[in-house]
Amino acid sequence: MSESVSESRLSPPPEASPALSCKNVVREYRRGSNSLFASSADAPTVRALDGVSLAISTGEFVAIAGPSGSGKSTLLHLLSALDTPDSGDVSVAGTDVRSLSSRGRTRLRRTTIGIVFQHFHLLPSLSARSNVALPLVEHGVSKRARHERADELLSQVELADRADHTPGELSGGEQQRVAIARALVSDPAVLVADEPTGELDTETGHRVLDYVEQTAANRAVVVATHDEHVIERADRVIRLRDGIVVSDG
């Protein structure tokens, strides 16, 4: 065996790019104008994020924690391509979010990012099956294939027997599980959840958390939360205060 071949086989493989990353991210908002200001342009700005840098890999379950006003929701919006930073870089699955148009960011969310909202955001007139299948309409998937995929995911979250029920006929925990199934229907590389247990009792929250945690095997999972149970079960906890990362580990 030659020396060069031996060295090549012994050297570690190159590290994969993170599924999500931020570098020196700043995001500011202008306070609403009132009688004290001649125009909104004269209103003071609030720096929601101030030089945030982080990297999250596929297979990680990461909690974003911090008090109200710390910047958790702003960071989550950036990581889910719902917003762009004023400065710094945000990358999702190797794509520079700032380089994309609004339409490009929408396309990125459809193909790469699953989002779970605290208040479910299910369409009240549609069944659980149709709510889960809805994102696949934009992908041109046939109705039969959409429903088969939706039924597969509803079975995984133990709601196969509730597939024909509308959100109003489901409990809060059941609605959140439908929302998780919907977020996963396109098999995204990234799952982002905003306070997924915030509207639920402790027992139901644990059950929902089980499903969120299980999805981290083959994707990056990021959860913004105040819930200590979520924080305890995360692989890593990134803590924010006043828009700054104060700990990461």
pLDDT score, position 59: 93
pLDDT score, position 193: 93
pLDDT score, position 4: 41
Report the CATH number of the 58-84+97-237 domain: 3.40.50.300
Asked if 49 and 27 touch (Cβ cutoff 8 Å), the reply is yes
pLDDT score, position 209: 87
The rounded distance, in Å, linking the Cα atoms of 149 and 5 is 46
pLDDT score, position 41: 62
pTM of the model: 0.85
Sheet with 61-65: strands ordered across:
113-116, 190-194, 220-225, 61-65, 236-241, 244-248
Tell me the H-state helices in the chain. 3-10, 72-79, 102-112, 128-133, 143-156, 172-184, 202-214, 228-233
pLDDT score, position 9: 37
Which residues in the chain come in under a pLDDT of 70? 1-16, 32-43
pLDDT score, position 159: 95
